Every structure is written in structure tokens, then in C-alpha cells.
Structure 1
Amino acid sequence: MTELASPSPGSSERQAPARAFAGRRRPQTLYVAVGVLIALGLLSAVVWKLSHAAPTNSYVTSAVTSGSVTRIVSTTGTVNPELTIIVGSYVSGVIKDMYCDYNTQVKTGQVCAKIDPRPYQTAVDQAKANLAVGKAQLQKDQAALSYAKSNYDRNAMLAKSNAVSQDVADNARSNFEQAQAQVSFDQASIEQRQAELDAAQVNLDYTDIISPVDGTVVSRNITIGQTVAASFQTPTLFLIASDLTKMQVDTNVSEGDIGGVKLDDKVLFSVDAFPNRIFEGTVTQIRQSPQTVQNVVTYDVVVSVGNVDLALKPGMTAAARIIIDQHDNVLRVPSQALRYTPKGTTRSGSDHPRIWILENSRLEAVDVETGLSDDDFVEIRSDGLKAGDQVAIGERTSATTPAASPRS
């Protein structure tokens, strides 16, 4: 028979507080668990709402301004003197002396170089000698003519009285006529030899290389001792610019742009030597001769420009902008404003160009009439805009979306 041990009075007193503490801890743990579940639920709701919310936009805007709208044709060209004289040689020979060099200021008729004249001087001397021989022969034959005439006159008189035979008289007449012919031949020979002398003198004179104009030597292609051969093609010895204070830019304009270029159009250009300086010129010539390079057709447009300070030098490369049209003091908007359309909107109800103005955080569509345009701006001729209005040209992601509404 088993006996159960009864608890002692002391152990009952220790277990009672433990059961009471365990009873209080269970409700607190439950509350914490419920609170965590609620917090997780709220966090999940926020995450779901943010992940499923429609993306919104904020707009990039630009102000309507008042200014100039300029249409240009961009091209490149080369700076050259307005008039460049090529000085060559008509005769061949060795350069004996040289009196001009780069940048030499020359006057009309000034000798710049000299070819060895000795061969040509010899030809002149020979021609003079031949001419002298011809003149002496003429004098001799003129004396013979005088005698033949006297003999003929005498025999003709004697023949009338039968003092001499008719054959003698005829022979005297023949000699007289031959003497006349010989004198005429001598005179023609003298003219021929005079022409030969003149030609030899011309060649001798060409041994002096002279400047035909006042100007500045911009190129020299010879040195002392060099042999110049002018047999087939005239060699270029010097290039002389008549006036370096007046320059021109020879530009190449494509066939797609040449239709808008006109005489007297204003031209702005720059050169690498002066990157911060803008030069101004005027279109003075549109040449009709086309230039075709790799199937690209261009036309030479000549731009005249003053060069009083001699800053521009021949051969410089110019980046030119030909102003073919310009409107000043007009309302203008960036070109992007006419190409931009807000997301979710459709174009309807008008065939006019449309821009979007931001007013009170809302976009309003405005139909406009446009004028001249360039690469950056478009002229606006409508009365619905004023300088300072903000027009949308793009958008980026943001928190809210302003409503877009059309405005007539």
C-alpha cells in the first residue's frame, strides 16, 4: 500500500507567487506579438501603396524671352588677299641676283630678281650686227641703182639716134630694174633684221623680273643660282598681294544651303589665331561654277573683309556663319518647347504648333503662330504669350503630377 507524501507548508507558499507571475506574463507577451503584427501590416501596406502608385512628373521649364532669332549657314573657308599677282619668267636662265624677299614692299616696275643676261645680250649684239650689215648692203645697192639709172638714161638717149643698138639700151634698162629690186630687197631685209633685234631686246629685258603692281611679296619660290626653265610653262617666281588691308574669305557652301545666300549678306567668322575675336564681312560674290568633291557639290561664296590692322594673314582657315535672315526684338521660345508633349496627352482640335505653359503648378496648352527659327529659338508671333512665361521643355520624375489642360 502506497502512501502519498503531502506537501510541506513551506513549499506551497513558494509556488503561489510563481503561478501569479506566470499568469501576468502571458497577457504582456500576447500584446507585444499583436503590436508587432500590426506594425508589419502597416509597413506592408505602405510598401504596397508606394510600389503600386503611378509615377508622377515634374517639368523642366524655360522662360519666354525677347531677343533675336538668326538663321545662319555655317561653312569654312580660306583667307586670301583680294588680288594676288603671279610674277613669272618669260625666259629661261640662271637667277643671278635677287632683290625681293618675303614681306618686301614693292612698287610698280621695281626689279625683284635678275636672270643671267649674257646669252640674251649676245643675241642682241648679233642682231645689231646683222642690222648694220643690212644697212650697209642697202647703201651699196643704192649706189648701184644710181649708176644703173644713169647708164639706162644715157643708152636710151643714144638709142634714139641709133648711136647704140637697141639691145644695149634694153640691157641697160634691165640692169636698172634689177638694181631697183635689189634696193627693195635690202629695205625689206633691214626691216626683218630690225624685228630680230627687237625680239632679242625683248628677251634681254625679260631677264629683269619686275613687279607689275604696288604691293607686298607674300611668296618667293626662287633662290640665287637656281635655273629657271620657261620652255613649256611659265614658272611662278613671286606672289605679290596688291593690298593686304583688304582681304577675302573663299568659302564653300553646299548646294542645299546656297539657295538662301544672297549678295550683301552679313558674315561673322573666326580664325584659330584669334579664337576670342569675331570678324565681320559681307558676301560680295556667289560664283556659279560648282565644285564637286566625292559627289558633294559646293559653290564658292566670296566674303570681303577689312584688314586694317593686318591681323588676318593669307591662308588662315576661317569658320564662317553667313546670316541669311534675322529678326530682332521678337518673342522667342526654345525649339524644344515645340517638340515637347506631356505624357498622357493627345494632340487634337488644332493644326497650329502648340506649347505648354506652366501656371500655378498646372500645364496649359497654347496654340501659337511661329515665325523665323534657328538652331536654338523659334519666333512666336501670337499675342497669348509674354516675356517671362514659363514653357515646358521636358520632364523628370517627382512626387505629384500637375493636371494638364488645354487653353485656347
Structure 2
Amino acid sequence: MQAENKVEMSALVMGQIVNLAVREGDAVKKGDFLLQIDRNRAAAEEAGSNAALRASLADRDTARATMEQAERDFERTRRNYEARITSEAEFQKTRSGLETSRSTFEAAQNRVDQMRAGLNANRDTLSKTTVRAPIDGVVTTLRVKAGEVTVIGTMNNPGTQLLTISDMSTVEAVLMVDETDTPTVQVGQKTLLGIDAYPGRPFEGLVTEVGNSPILRDDPDLQGLTTTSDAINFKVKAKVVMPPPGIRPGFSVTADIITGTKPKVPAVPLAAVVVRDSPRGERTEAGKLKTEEGVYALREDKAVFTPVKTGISGELMVEVLTGVKPGEEIITGPFKALRQIKDGDRVKRMSEKERKAAEGEGAGTS
């Protein structure tokens, strides 16, 4: 089980945790103070950037005044040059001075922009030393203590994981579904969830997500769960319609996903369906012997293999579309026993008492 909406919070700045205001299990509101990372270094860098910005602003103002004076000098020299009062050399000198002053002002303006960007970056770093709750929820995991030093994540190394906040008002079950069942699972289907912490109380759920690729070992939604190395499973998420009070992330859950329902249709026990090689020796394009699915019908106390076409199935029963009629007796029993039956074998009905005594060692009829 997990919250549908949760936030894994990591350190965004490096420093020592000087104040930890929450404990695991605490309820928090968006914006609540969670912890404080030492801000002295970040504050000093912010103050230095602020001073550098003020200095660059003063340099820019000086450069602007120089440029404006150069513009006035150039206009006066230009008029004198056009009146043949000033020489061309003096005119060119004044124009060159104007161009230089303009370049100096532009460079000063660029330094102001650079200093302002640095100040904004340092202010952002300073703000990140104070960690606040990004959502309403419960602190479901707390991974740090006061006095510990946080580090920032890099490409190859994750940063310090601080805590997890989960909104437990909306809870979902993360399920592992075998690849053979995945094609029948669709978003919106109902599920019956069994949560181990609430024995005997099924909970209704709705499928909200069906994975498109097999589950990876490092899937963050399935940490701590293991499967056999050969199993291929897909992740399916189901929202719990009415989660019980006190539910916690990490609770174990099993689910029955209702992929289809058909009332009043012919059905047989799953254990009665067997697969045998084609008696006609038919083969596939790959050269393998074809197989056919069927049941052994009980006719005149003999087992008669009857090919069937099956439909949807549940845990115990499977729908029969063609092959046997409603009310017809079929033979059921352990898989090993059914494999030994041959078409035409004489079969004895077992009483309920005999069936219980056999404890699955022999075949019976159903």
C-alpha cells in the first residue's frame, strides 16, 4: 500500500541540520516548517553577492555619466567640425572617445546583470536551507536526525534523503500481475483488496494504472518486494475506494481483479480442463505437435474426451463456450490423475466421503 500522492524530499543544499521540527507520523500542512539546515555559509554568500551588486551598480552609474558627457562633447565637436572650426583629427578623437564610453557602459551593465543573477542564485540557496512541507500529509518516513550533514545529489551519487510526506487521504495498492494475466487487466476494472493488517475485511478498489513494461528490480513503488528470478510481472495500481482509518504505507495487500463477469453461463472447474496432443497428429508451422483443450465427460460410466472452447475464468471455475452441455457430468480431480486417464477408460463415481478420504490422490466426477 502507498499514498497516491507522496513527495520524497531530498537535500538541495549542503550543511548541518540544526533544527528538526517533525517526527515520523506527524501530520503536516503545506508550508509547515520541517527542518533547518545551517544557513550561515549561504547567508554570507548572499551578503557578498549583495555587496558585489551594489558595487557594480555604482560602476554602471559612473560609466553612464561618462558616456553621457562623451555624447555632449561629441555633439559640440561635430557642430564645430561642420563649421570648420575644429580639425578632423579632433573630431575623430572625440568620436572614438564616445564609442569607448559606450562600450564601457555596456560592459558595466553586463556586470550588473551578472551580479544580480549571482545574488538571485545565492538567495535561492539560502531559501533552500529552510525546508517546508510541499503538500498536506503525514511524515511517513524520516531518514535524518538533528546534527547530521546533508549532501547534494550528483549524476552518480544521490543526495541525502530527508523524509517522505504522504497524503493518506487517497491510497492505492501497488500489485504485481503475472504476464499471462496482464492483457485482460484494464483501467477502471473493480478489484477486491485484502489488506493483511485488516484480516477478513475486503476493500473495494479500482484499477488506475497498468504497466507497459515488466517490473524492474529497483522499481521505487515495489521496494522490499521480491519475486522469483524467472517470473515476469507487470505493475498494476488500484485506488482504494474507502481506505480504512489508520492505514499506513507499506501494508501488504493481495487483490482479485474482476476482469469480466457473465451471469448464468455453463462453467466447469478449472481442475477438470486438460490439454492433450492432437490425436490426428496435426502440427504447427514450427513443426510442433498441436494440442487441444478439453474435458473428460462421464458417459455410460466411461471417460470420453470432449474438446471444449473456454471463455473467462475465475479462481475455481472457467466458462465453457462449446463442447459440453449444461448438466452434463464431467470428471475432475488432481492434474496427475487426469493425465493418466485415457479416452474410453471406465470410471467409478466417488462418494463425498470417499472423495475426502482420497485427499486428492484419485479422480472423481463432478
Structure 1 residues 177 and 332, CA, compared in 2 at 3 Å: closer, same or farther? closer
Are 2:195 and 1:271 aligned?
Answer: yes
Structure 1 residues 306 and 189, CA, compared in 2 at 3 Å: closer, same or farther? same
How far did residue 269 of structure 1 move? Answer: 3.0
Query: Hey, what does 1:106 align to over in structure 2?
Result: 28
Residues 359-378 of structure 1 correspond to what in structure 2 (within 5 A)? 376=316
Query: Hey, what does 1:354 align to over in structure 2?
Result: 297
Query: Hey, what does 2:290 align to over in structure 1?
Result: none
How far did residue 115 of structure 1 move? Answer: 1.3
Structure 1 residues 308 and 259, CA, compared in 2 at 3 Å: closer, same or farther? closer
Question: What SS does structure 1 have at the residue aligned with 2:145?
Answer: coil
Query: Hey, what does 1:70 align to over in structure 2?
Result: none
Query: Hey, what does 1:291 align to over in structure 2?
Result: 215
Of residues 310, 316, 321, the one that matches 2:256 is: 321
Runs of 5+ consecutive residues of structure 2 not aligned to the other structure = 217-227, 275-293, 330-347, 356-366
Question: What SS does structure 2 have at the residue aligned with 1:276?
Answer: coil
How far did residue 309 of structure 1 move? Answer: 3.0
CA contact (8 A) 2:203 2:242 kept: no
Are 2:243 and 1:300 aligned?
Answer: no
Query: Hey, what does 1:140 align to over in structure 2?
Result: 62
How far did residue 273 of structure 1 move? Answer: 2.0
Residues 29-68 of structure 1 correspond to what in structure 2 (within 5 A)? none
CA distance in 1, matches of 2:115, 2:313: 76
How far did residue 267 of structure 1 move? Answer: 2.2
CA distance in 2, matches of 1:174, 1:327: 92
How far did residue 272 of structure 1 move? Answer: 2.7
CA distance in 2, matches of 1:352, 1:116: 74
CA distance in 1, matches of 2:136, 2:313: 47
Are 2:132 and 1:207 aligned?
Answer: no
2:44 maps to amino acid = T
Question: What SS does structure 1 have at the residue aligned with 2:200?
Answer: strand
Query: Hey, what does 2:148 align to over in structure 1?
Result: 226
Question: What SS does structure 2 have at the residue aligned with 1:262?
Answer: coil
Per-residue Cα deviation, 1:354-406 (whole angstroms, up to 9, x for no partner): 3489xxxxx899999997765555779846579xxxx9445859xxxxxxxxx
Higher CA-based Rg: 1
How far did residue 287 of structure 1 move? Answer: 0.7
How far did residue 159 of structure 1 move? Answer: 4.1
Question: What SS does structure 2 have at the residue aligned with 1:82?
Answer: strand
Are 2:27 and 1:84 aligned?
Answer: no
CA distance in 2, matches of 1:364, 1:151: 121
Structure 1 residues 325 and 159, CA, compared in 2 at 3 Å: closer, same or farther? closer
Structure 1 residues 352 and 302, CA, compared in 2 at 3 Å: closer, same or farther? closer
2:234 maps to amino acid = Y
Query: Hey, what does 2:109 align to over in structure 1?
Result: 187
Residues 160-179 of structure 1 correspond to what in structure 2 (within 5 A)? 160=82, 163-179=85-101
Structure 1 residues 353 and 222, CA, compared in 2 at 3 Å: closer, same or farther? same
CA contact (8 A) 2:17 2:148 kept: yes
Per-residue Cα deviation, 1:144-195 (whole angstroms, up to 9, x for no partner): 2233333333344444555544323332222222222212221121111111
CA distance in 1, matches of 2:259, 2:349: 29
How many equivalent pairs are there?
Answer: 298
CA distance in 2, matches of 1:299, 1:182: 64
Structure 1 residues 366 and 328, CA, compared in 2 at 3 Å: closer, same or farther? farther
Per-residue Cα deviation, 1:115-140 (whole angstroms, up to 9, x for no partner): 11111111111111111111111222
TM-score (norm 2): 0.69
Question: What SS does structure 1 have at the residue aligned with 2:8?
Answer: strand
Among all aligned residue pairs of Structure 1 and Structure 2, give the percentage whose two residues are the same amino acid. 22
2:13 maps to amino acid = V
Runs of 5+ consecutive residues of structure 1 not aligned to the other structure = 1-78, 340-350, 358-362, 398-408
How far did residue 335 of structure 1 move? Answer: 7.0
Structure 1 residues 116 and 383, CA, compared in 2 at 3 Å: closer, same or farther? closer
Question: What SS does structure 1 have at the residue aligned with 2:119?
Answer: helix
CA contact (8 A) 1:249 1:318 kept: yes
CA contact (8 A) 1:158 1:164 kept: yes
Of residues 140, 147, 163, the one that matches 1:238 is: 163
CA contact (8 A) 1:92 1:227 kept: yes
TM-score (norm 1): 0.62
CA contact (8 A) 1:87 1:236 kept: yes
Query: Hey, what does 1:405 align to over in structure 2?
Result: none
Query: Hey, what does 1:347 align to over in structure 2?
Result: none
CA distance in 2, matches of 1:171, 1:268: 89
2:102 maps to amino acid = Q
How far did residue 268 of structure 1 move? Answer: 2.2
CA distance in 1, matches of 2:326, 2:162: 67
Highest relative contact order (Cα 8 Å, sep 6+), 1 or 2?
Answer: 1
1:98 maps to amino acid = L
How far did residue 231 of structure 1 move? Answer: 4.6
Structure 1 residues 304 and 393, CA, compared in 2 at 3 Å: closer, same or farther? farther
1:306 maps to amino acid = V
Structure 1 residues 338 and 82, CA, compared in 2 at 3 Å: closer, same or farther? closer
Per-residue Cα deviation, 1:81-124 (whole angstroms, up to 9, x for no partner): 11221122221111122223222222223331121111111111
Are 2:188 and 1:253 aligned?
Answer: no
CA contact (8 A) 1:338 1:354 kept: no
CA distance in 2, matches of 1:213, 1:204: 21
Residues 325-404 of structure 1 correspond to what in structure 2 (within 5 A)? 325-328=260-263, 353-355=296-298, 376=316, 382=325, 392-394=349-351
